Structure 1
Amino acid sequence: MSLADNIEFFRHLPKMAGGLNGMGRTELPVGDSPLEEVTDFGSNPGNLKMFAYAPEQLAPKPALVVVLHGCTQTAAGYDLGSGWSKLAQRYGFVLVMPEQTRANNSNTCFNWFAAEDISRDSGEALSIRQMVEHAAIAHGVDAKRIYVTGLSAGGAMASVMLATYPDVFAAGAIIAGLPYGIAQSTQEALAGMYRAPTRSMQELGDLVRKASPHQGPWPRVSVWHGAADRTVNPANAGEIVKQWLGLHGLPDAPMSAGDVDGYPREVWWNGTGETVVESYTITGMVHGTPLAIEGQEDAYGAATKFMLDAGIASSWHIAQFFGLTKQAPIRTAASEESRSRPSRPQQQRAEQDRRSKRRNPPGRRASDVSGVVTRALSAIGLIK
């Protein structure tokens, strides 16, 4: 990439973006998260922090979900924004939320492009694997129901975990992330984020095949991306889908397509009819996690920077994709006695809200070009 390309890339980043890891500076809601820090969970070669939450009432042989925050975020902040601990309480599963340290990355981004951190049994990937094992043993987790999801740099790290430990994770959800293995340097990371170079299905699949000795079956994958994302090119969603379609031996063309809460969803299933790959395109949305807040009697999460009220509850839909919502809720909200999903506003109002959001996408803001470039070049050590 030329300097001009890099400047053009930085021009599209949010004003306070760190620049390299797919997530800008964020301000998440302040409040109480039930997450508690866990120490001595293993050798921790990646020098990460472990936070976890296990509700008092767990389902028999509970599931476990790993949730990975974006850059400049914290585990507790992303929990409050995304609503995962509320879902864990509702459906009785264990939550593990790793947290990056500034010693590893000044913007607290997971190092999704560093070779030592994205290899099996090495660095940050191994630290997260150790957290999973520790929590699974402590809470009697069903080994066949372990899942991972994340936003942006956390979404790219979710790709890492699915590729390096496909024998551990049954499924994953990648929000505004990137395919596994496309970057092992800053320059390659920039190229992936900004340009999203097209690769063949075989090439993308081979990156995963070489990441572990596993020969299949492969994890199921849910992909989410805002169509107006100017931080991580939305074409990355198609590349992630392509990577996993090749592994599952599925065709390029979706087997089914339709709208969910007003947004396009494409679906691929296996020979038994189980959905193994799905892709949501959030029309008009910029970089972030889509939420459904306005008009909801019992919303999951809180809208703020990069946690965007788009009228679709991604955390709930991801939990549904993981199979966590099949059982009756262990704890049901007073306003939700007969429903196990977030309540919806009246259809007419919801459609009006969605149309308004598409005309005025959430999170759009003017760019301070010179300021962004200065901060970005400073972040990578080119200027001081």
Structure 2
Amino acid sequence: MNDEFAAAMRRATLFTRASNPSEATRVILDTLAGRTVSGEHGPAVSDITPPPAKSRPKPFPVDPHAQLIEPAAKPETALAETDTFQRSPRVRRPLGDTLRILSEGRSVAGKLPSFSDGGLPGMTRRSLKPVIPDGAKYLARSFTCAAGTRSYKLYVPASAPAMPRGLVVMLHGCKQDPDDFAIGTGMNATAEARGLMVAYPGQTGADNASSCWNWFRPSDQRRGAGEPAIIAGITEEIIQDFELDRSQIFIAGLSAGGAMAAVMAEAYPDLYAAVGIHSGLACGSATDVVSAFTAMRGDGGLASRTRTLKDSVPACRVRTIVFHGDADRTVHPSNADRIVAAATPSVPGGAASKPGRCAGGLTYETTVLTDEKGRPALEYWLVNGAGHAWSGGHADGSYTDPRGPNATTEMIRFFLDQCE
């Protein structure tokens, strides 16, 4: 045993005694792979460098209850997938009344108590179904390709059933499903008002034990393979079936879904016109479970050494809007800075920041970056006091915080800003 390995084992032992087993594992794996903390050969240079403008809290210890990356179990039988959807009885209401109900966050089943996880509303999982206006459709569909099969829900607006204006693909977070995410974000109501379709791909427990999108696996970070290929396939299927305008195709996600949305924007910049990333991580932030925890806690130096997206894709940046709470204890807010750095145009036209306060009481800071033509290329909303939850969401859905600015309406505004 050489001196370097012995020193690494001593460091790993100290981390273990400090109840930080993931850091101990990282030290051991780094040493076995020939990497060192100080870097005899020097650490590889990251191509995602967080901008220094904003001050962030120091990295926090790994949350043992974090459900952002739990690897899939090995069930004896895979979960059955079906094209049928048992919808709860619909209440027959005029479209205007239904939109008002949706915007208020109510559901057919009624409002339930929703205070848990430190008192923030919207952290408890429900078994509710979205309200569907007369004339609208909420279809249960399935897509299969060489990379696998996923079911998805598809909202077709009553305001434009024959010729929808465009499509928003919504990627849910861990321990969520399409219905829960639709209710929590209120995306159907906002899309209805703008004539947009909404697709909600669903991750399965057979592919990840916590229904997380596998954003941290190299096999699921590439164009034409893994989960990106499935999500892109779902998108293409809807575009072709409804003859949608390709300039108005968007994607957004929360947490693990936000991290996967970042992957999709980098792997398929020719498919999506804009991306919304809420409480997520930049593409390439992790290459395995250990580096995923490293990135989540805000120590992204190691995780950023290797970018896993090596396929040839069109050289362009997807317009990006980012939401993150500065009190997020699951995904450190420094990850939002890394997303901004990755999405920033190489020659921005300028940047402007302004503070704000929403009706729910939370304050926020919005930064807008423009391209060389003066058009908004990126928006970054940092919500003060917000945790790991969809800002401005409805309390009937899980992982929402109704107190903050409405991420749903702001994302749709940003998506359509250059399509008016």
Shift of 1:61: 5.9
TM-score, normalised by the number of residues in structure 2: 0.67
CA distance in 2, matches of 1:111, 1:244: 21
Deviation at 1:304, TM superposition (A): 5.0
Distance 1:280 1:21 in 2: 28
> In the superposition, relative to structure 1, how do residues 50 and 29 fare at CA in structure 2: closer, same or farther (>3 Å)?
closer
SS of alignment partner, residue 89 of structure 1 = helix
Q: CA–CA distance in 1 between the matches of 2:419 and 2:68?
A: 40
Q: Distance in 1 between matches of 2:300 and 2:213?
A: 22
The CA deviation at 1:234 is 0.6
In 1, are the aligned partners of 2:165 and 2:195 still within 8 Å (CA)?
yes
* 2:325 aligned with 1:226: yes
Residue 77 of structure 1 deviates from its aligned partner by 0.6
Matched, 1:289 2:390: yes
Identity %: 28
Specify which structure has the higher proportion of helix.
1
**What SS does structure 1 have at the residue aligned with 2:332?**
coil
Residue 198 of structure 1 and its aligned partner are, at CA, apart by 4.5
- Which of 306, 314, 322 is matched with 1:214 structurally? 314
Query: For residues 208 and 321 of structure 1, do their structure 2 counterparts lie closer, same or farther at Cα, with a shift above 3 Å needed?
Result: farther
Gaps of 5+ in 1: 293-300, 328-384
Task: Please say if 1:45 is aligned against 2:60.
Answer: no
Tell me: CA distance 1:196–1:277, structure 2 relative to 1, closer, same or farther (3 Å).
Answer: farther
Selected match of 2:243 from 140, 161, 184? 140
- Could you tell me how far apart the structure 2 residues matched to 1:141 and 1:97 are? 17
Cα shift at 1:311: 3.3
Give the distance between the partners of 2:158 and 2:197, measured in 1 at CA: 10
For the structure 1 residues 215 and 209, does the alpha-carbon distance in structure 2 shift closer, same or farther, using more than 3 Å as the test?
farther
1:290 Cα deviation after fit: 0.5
Residue 162 (1) aligns with residue 265 (2) = yes
Q: Distance in 2 between matches of 1:285 and 1:238?
A: 16
Give 1:95 deviation, angstroms.
0.8
Q: Work out the CA distance in 1 between the residues paired with 2:366 and 2:300.
A: 23
User: Does 2:312 align with 1:255?
Assistant: no
Work out the CA distance in 2 between the residues paired with 1:326 and 1:19: 34
Displacement of 1:263 after TM fit? 1.2
Q: Which residue is equivalent to 2:402? A: 309
- CA distance in 1 between partners of 2:218 and 2:124 (Å): 27
Q: Distance in 2 between matches of 1:265 and 1:208?
A: 30
One-letter amino acid of the counterpart of residue 20, structure 2 = D
Q: Which residue among 121, 125, 129 is the counterpart of 1:27?
A: 125
Query: Which of 169, 174, 192 in structure 2 is aligned with 1:71?
Result: 174
Equivalent-residue separation in structure 1 for 2:147 and 2:63 (angstroms):
31
- Give SS of 1:222's match: strand
Q: Aligned equivalents of 1:255 and 1:18: distance in 2?
A: 35
TM-aligned CA deviation for residue 184 of structure 1: 1.6
> How many residue pairs were aligned?
309
Q: Return the TM-score normalized by structure 1.
A: 0.73
Q: Is the 8 A contact 1:83 1:302 kept in 2?
A: no
How far is the alpha carbon of 1:47 from its aligned partner? 3.0
Conserved 8 A contact 2:20-2:62: no
Please say if 1:89 is aligned against 2:192: yes
Structure-2 change in CA distance of 1:191 and 1:211 (3 Å) = farther
Question: Contact 1:250 / 1:268 at 8 angstroms: preserved in 2?
Answer: no
Does the CA contact (< 8 Å) of 1:268 and 1:278 recur in 2?
Answer: yes
Give 2:346's aligned amino acid: G
SS of structure 2 residue aligned to 1:144: helix
Classify 1:152/1:254 alpha carbon distance in 2 versus 1 (closer, same or farther; 3 Å).
farther
Is the CA contact (8 Å cut-off) linking 1:303 and 1:309 kept in structure 2? no
1:120: how far off? 0.6
Who is 1:319 aligned against?
A: 412
1:217-236 deviations in Å (ceiling 9; x for gaps): x2101111000001001100
Q: Does the 8 A contact of 1:254 with 1:266 survive in 2?
A: no
The one-letter code of the counterpart of 2:333 is P
In the alignment, structure 2 segments of 5+ residues that lack a partner are 1-11, 24-58, 72-116, 118-122, 133-137
